[in-house]
Amino acid sequence: MATFLFDKIIFGPVRSRRLGVSLGVNLLPNDAKICNFDCIYCECGWTTGATSSKLPARTQVRESMQKRFQQMRANDDALDVITFAGNGEPTIHPHFAEIIDDTIALRNEYFPHARIAVLSNSTMLHKPPVVEALKRVDQNILKLDSGFDATIQLLNQPKKPITVRQIIDHLKQFDGNFTLQTLFVRGTYNGKPVDNATPRELERWIEIVDELQPKDVMVYTIARDTPIDTLKKVPQAELESIAERVRALGIPVQVSC
Ligand code: SF4
């Protein structure tokens, strides 16, 4: 199906269904996806691993961002949030931490009221500089799609072995100061059923939410084309009932469909 890649370092601003008016930052190549997951629902398509494309240098990111901020300020454009997302996993960039520091400095100079958000798949939290950088941003949005290793294998297809327990232990480094994001989806993949919103899945997921006590939770489902056409959205009513269970723990939750 028609997945897509961002063709710039800085893209937008766009109105994000979850974050508001968002200027995107892509720390991955402009013509290839690089990720240590290969989620079957990824809007960027499959992780092929076959790229000779380079990651943008720290100076390139800083200069592109400054230029865009200057244009936006000259146009009196609004900006709610600067969002690190793009063609894969942003925390893979070897200078992720320094780029976050540059972004904080530029944000303070040009758009002091804008938030900085990072959407990450939680796989690089064994690296202290990544964790420390994520602690410095305003919205640290970290993925956990299931409480079961077998579901993570099927849904996220990690490139290196990682367990749910390792992810949970890494997430605990934030003492609850993060947003937990979970994408719910169902369908089939290679003839196998996939559904991370079954009663068994939800029971375990809620236990983990309770254990982690994140400051808030984002639940959502697929919204655009995915690499396979055998996946379906989880209906809004089901997402709302999942959200109710999170609210019952006293944790705010945002639902996006
Ligand atoms: S973690 Fe994000 S970028 Fe990586 S494969 Fe999954 S959805 Fe795509």
For residue 5, being part of any structural domain is answered with no
CB neighbours of residue 48 within 10 Å = 10
pLDDT tens track for 107-117: 999 999 999 99
The residue type found at 162 is I
Q: Are strands 20-25 and 81-84 parallel, antiparallel or unpaired?
A: parallel
**Exposed, middle or buried by CB within 10 Å (0-12, 13-18, 19+), for 72?**
middle
The reported pLDDT for the residue numbered 4 is 77
Q: Which residue has the tokens 């490139």?
A: 159
Considering only CA atoms, which residue is closest to atom 8 of ligand 1?
A: 42
Element (H, E) at 96: helix 96-110
Give the pLDDT score at 16.
82
How many domains, in total, are found in the chain?
Answer: 1
Residue nearest to atom 6 of ligand 1 (CA): 39
Q: Which residues contact 217 (CB under 8 A, 6 or more apart)?
A: 179, 180, 181, 182, 209, 243, 246, 251, 252, 253, 254
Whole-model pTM: value is 0.95
Backbone angles phi, psi at 24, to 5 degrees: -90, 150
- With a Cβ cut-off of 6 Å, ligand 1 is lined by 35, 37-39, 42, 44, 47, 88-89, 121
- pLDDT for 126 equals 97
pLDDT of residue 50: 57
| Residue 46, domain member (yes or no) | yes
Query: Mapping DSSP to helix (H, G, I), strand (E, B) and coil, where does residue 191 land?
Result: coil
* pLDDT recorded at residue 7: 79
CATH number of the domain at 37, please.
3.20.20.70
For a mutational test of ligand 1's pocket, the pick from 5, 28, 47, i.e. the residue with the most ligand atoms closer than 8 A to its C-beta, is 47
Ligand 1 mean position to 205 CA, how many Å?
20
Q: Is residue 193 part of a domain?
A: yes
The pLDDT of residue 3 is 73
Low-confidence residues of the chain: pLDDT under 70: 1-2, 49-52
Residue 19's pLDDT is what? 85
Question: Which residue minimizes the CA distance to atom 7 of ligand 1?
Answer: 42
- Where in the sequence is the domain holding 197, given as residue range(s)? 10-256
Nearest to 184 by CA among 136, 229, 220: 220
Within a domain: 252? yes
- What does the pLDDT read at residue 51? 59
pLDDT at 1: 58
Domain contains 3:
no
